[in-house]
Amino acid sequence: MAVGEFLTRLFGLEGQTAVVIGGAGELGFALCSGLSQAGAHVVIADVNLQACQKRVRQIEEAGGRASPAEVDITSRASLESLLAEALKVSGRVEMLVNSAGINAGSPFLDVDPDFWDKIFAVNLKGMMEACQVFIAHMKEAGGGSILNIGSVNSHLPLSRVFAYAASKAGVVNLTKNIAQEFAASGIRCNAICPGFFPAEQNRKLLDAERVENIMRGTPMHRYGEPHELVGAALLLLSPQAGSYITGADYYVDGGFTCSWF
């Protein structure tokens, strides 16, 4: 078998539909691009519709297929509409990626309980509801694959991001719990836990002291590039390459979670 054919059989997503919530963001869009290049039609869903439309044009210019959809992951009705919209593509959604996320930092005694709720509403409760809505469809359709975006905070609580870190610990726990409940229904659920990839939601937190600590704690001594998440995402989402992988929390972090200095 030729190399191209072998890789296509393992990772090809031709004819499949992927919904990426938070798809207009920096990491979410890198995942949209990768899924599209592997052949999937990608529904780029985000609270920011204009950004989705811009991202769709980028995918189309690169020869891929995508459509924009406005969604607020904190609203059940909005998630139900997103599923209905995505089903218009081919009547089936094989993949869901949960990449919406927000962050804010402060010392513990200054943590605003209302903001804590807001972070949990997007990062964890919203993810849980998105999983409920799409799993109901996937179960009826005979299977599917979900990829949730955690963080190195899922494993290690980083200082000054209490709500974010706790929500991301919840993401891995939720992922594993969903994996065990729906394995028999042909639904796999995995998480990617990225290290440090400067983006809109975390750039303001990266002061000089934090950057120095991050670089010291990352054995590769550099930030990640969004496209470096794509290989792991295709492995976990692909029904061929990832067929026996569920409940995994896969760290793409330049070695951050294995270092101790």
Ligand X SMILES: NC(=O)c1ccc[n+]([C@@H]2O[C@H](COP(=O)([O-])OP(=O)(O)OC[C@H]3O[C@@H](n4cnc5c(N)ncnc54)[C@H](O)[C@@H]3O)[C@@H](O)[C@H]2O)c1
The footprint of ligand X (CB under 6 A) covers: 21-22, 24-28, 46-48, 71-74, 99-102, 122, 149, 151, 194, 196-197, 199-202
Pairwise CA distance, residues 113 & 135, whole Å: 31
Shortest approach of ligand X to residue 229 CB, angstroms?
A: 9
| Residue (11 or 164) nearer to ligand X, CB | 164
| Spatial distance between the Cα atoms of 175 and 112, rounded to a whole number of angstroms | 27
Give least dist CB 57 to ligand X, A: 16
For ligand X, give the closer residue by CB, 12 or 73. 73
Q: Which one, 47 or 172, has the nearer CB to ligand X?
A: 47
**Token pair recorded at residue 53:** 């439309």
Give the shortest CB-182-to-ligand X separation in angstroms: 21
Characterise 94 by phi-psi region: left (phi > 0), alpha (psi -120 to 50), beta (else). Answer: alpha
With b meaning 16 or more CB within 10 Å and e meaning fewer, what string describes 234-256?
bbbbbeebbeebbbbbbbbbbeb
Nearer to ligand X, 114 or 140 (CB): 114
Is 164 among the catalytic positions? yes
Min separation Cβ 36 and ligand X, Å = 17
Structure tokens at 64: 């891929």
Asked whether the beta carbons of 123 and 70 are under 8 A apart, the reply is no
**C-alpha–C-alpha distance, residues 129 and 124, integer Å:** 9
Indicate the residue among 37 and 48 with the shorter CB distance to ligand X: 48
User: Pick the catalytic residue: 164, 223, 250, 251?
Assistant: 164
Neighbours of 216 (CB within 10 A): 11
CB of 184 to ligand X, least distance (A): 28
Separation CA 5–CA 207 (nearest Å):
47
User: Residue 81 burial (CB < 10 Å; 0-12/13-18/19+)?
Assistant: middle
Report which residue's Cβ sits closest to ligand X: 25
Catalytic residue numbers? 164
